[in-house]
Structure 1
């Protein structure tokens, strides 16, 4: 990324848009299709959520795209339900909205997948989501959990 575009990106708000149901089928191949073993990402995200949250027992997830080209998923919740996450690898925990909890699970999965596959495209996805997380109201909790 050239310096001028990077500076513009730093000052431009990143927004998230929920993917409509009729477009969900193409979400993974469209955003992650060039990444080795992309088909394993969704179950790995579920596994991270299961590892981080004892109250997670599966469910419906919503897909979102980011205005910076990123994409992630988050569990749907009833009535603004909070999710309690604890990372036993660093001892940090927090109570988060479903969006923030999903971002944590995705960031963990994206990071590990980038290391496992040595994919620059996967690394880019990690940083696009991280850039969104850095401006999120729950930034501090997200960063402590993924540290």
Structure 2
């Protein structure tokens, strides 16, 4: 069974065009503490087994990053309807990720590391559930990743 996404969903903010009238610019907004409880149901509530997504992201980070030992994660919404989470950090230190499945390694910021592991988790969840709505979440986050300053590092990990 697959779900359909309504791209005209009223919960999504319309994308703004670039300064030169080009393709819409993607923007990220941190989710405030008081909205954290609604993050998963709001973005993923129509996805089968959505409740398992957060622990799956943690597990992928644990698998890819030898220095990861848990902690608080921040949630982010994208103006294209996408969403992701990233580990909270007190410094600008880079995270070293290694994907043994493809043999690639990369050092990246906490945000980029979160994007990478969310992309992997979303991809695997979409394949496991055969849910078109989950696939759409993957593509929305990937669109943001392609425009991220650390795109090359993210793509090395998810390739």
Q: Same fold (TM over 0.5)?
A: yes
* Alignment TM class, shorter chain as reference: over 0.9
| Cα displacement string for residues 47-106 of structure 1 (whole angstroms, at most 9, x for unaligned residues) | 000000000000000000001000000001111121000000001000000000000110
Match of 2:13 in 1: none
Match of 2:158 in 1: 146
Provide the C-alpha distance between the structure 1 equivalents of 2:101 and 2:148, rounded to a whole number of angstroms: 23
Provide the C-alpha distance between the structure 2 equivalents of 1:55 and 1:134, rounded to a whole number of angstroms: 26
Q: Counterparts in 2 of 1:66-145, with a 5 A limit?
A: 66-145=78-157
Kindly indicate whether residue 20 of structure 2 is the aligned counterpart of residue 13 of structure 1.
Answer: no
Kindly indicate whether residue 64 of structure 2 is the aligned counterpart of residue 59 of structure 1.
Answer: no
Kindly indicate whether residue 22 of structure 2 is the aligned counterpart of residue 46 of structure 1.
Answer: no
**Structure 2, unpaired ranges of 5+:** 1-6, 8-16
Match of 2:47 in 1: 35
Q: Secondary structure at the match of 2:61?
A: helix
Q: CA RMSD in A?
A: 1.4
Q: Secondary structure at the match of 1:49?
A: helix
Larger fraction in helix: 1
Q: TM-score, with normalisation over the residues of structure 2?
A: 0.86
Q: TM-score, with normalisation over the residues of structure 1?
A: 0.93
**Structure 1, unpaired ranges of 5+:** 2-7
Aligned length: 141
